[in-house]
Amino acid sequence: MPTDADLDVTLARNATVLATVDETSFLVDPLFASQGALPPIDNTPNDRNNPLVSMPEVDLTHDAVVVTHRHPDHFDEAAAAELDADVPLFCQPAEEDAFVEDGFTDVRPVEETASFDGVTLRRTPGRHGHGELAEQMGPVSGFVFEGAETLYLAGDTVWYEPVAETLARFEPDAVLLNGGAARFNEGKPITMGVDDVTAVREATDAAVAVVHMEAINHCLLSREELRAETEDVLVPEDGARIEF
């Protein structure tokens, strides 16, 4: 299991986490908007403005930023405005130009592997839903952070074979999943639900935690339900340090 000195992860809200690997801190998927400042996700249930909850008071001091994809619940205009323009920012290659247009001066697209301050980052595949809908959602990625301990942050994906392959290849010590069973009015969920999380739990000996819960209008799976329907899975509250 990871130790405090090697791996420390704090959930802020939704998929915004601070992952500290060997004392190097990565701010992942910053969503900085105030509660209710963004419109609901189009064509989805629960027609409420986003985020549904306020940002908790957590220390998000970081050495670098990692964005799994540029959907507005993972990177928003408030984050673009508040982050330092010269922060090292790791992203998908397809989204490099958009970050440069936002004014960031140290954008580092990750084809496969990158290194930062002794930590190796490996970009991993994701599938943001099922069938044609997944294609429409565009490219998404996860990232593996390798230091003394290994963290697999899966990003917005459902359970499918490349997730199983990533678990088998890297044998992570800790896994962070995006849950919530987010969905549109038609089609299957586009992020992990109970069955997806259960499949991951059965596929790895790693500690497993689930974020991306109860913060965006189309995430319908509650923390209470996920906790009741799974075993040996951590479901942290907003603002909590994840006790791997």
- Domains of the chain, residue spans: 7-235
Phi and psi torsions of 18, nearest 5°: -110, 110
- Give pTM, 2 decimals: 0.96
Identify the CATH homologous superfamily for domain 7-235. Ribonuclease Z/Hydroxyacylglutathione hydrolase-like (3.60.15.10)
Residue 145, both tokens: 């952070």
Asked if residue 51 has a cis previous peptide bond (ω within 30° of 0), the answer is yes
- Residue-wise pLDDT for 181-224, tens only, equals 999 999 999 999 999 999 999 999 999 999 999 999 999 999 99
DSSP 57-92: ------SEEE-S---TTTS-HHHHHHS-TTS-EEE-
- Residue-wise pLDDT for 109-123, tens only, equals 999 999 999 999 999
Cα–Cα distances (Å) from 24 to 6, 18, 62, 65, in that order, read 10, 10, 8, 11
Asked if residue 72 has a cis previous peptide bond (ω within 30° of 0), the answer is no
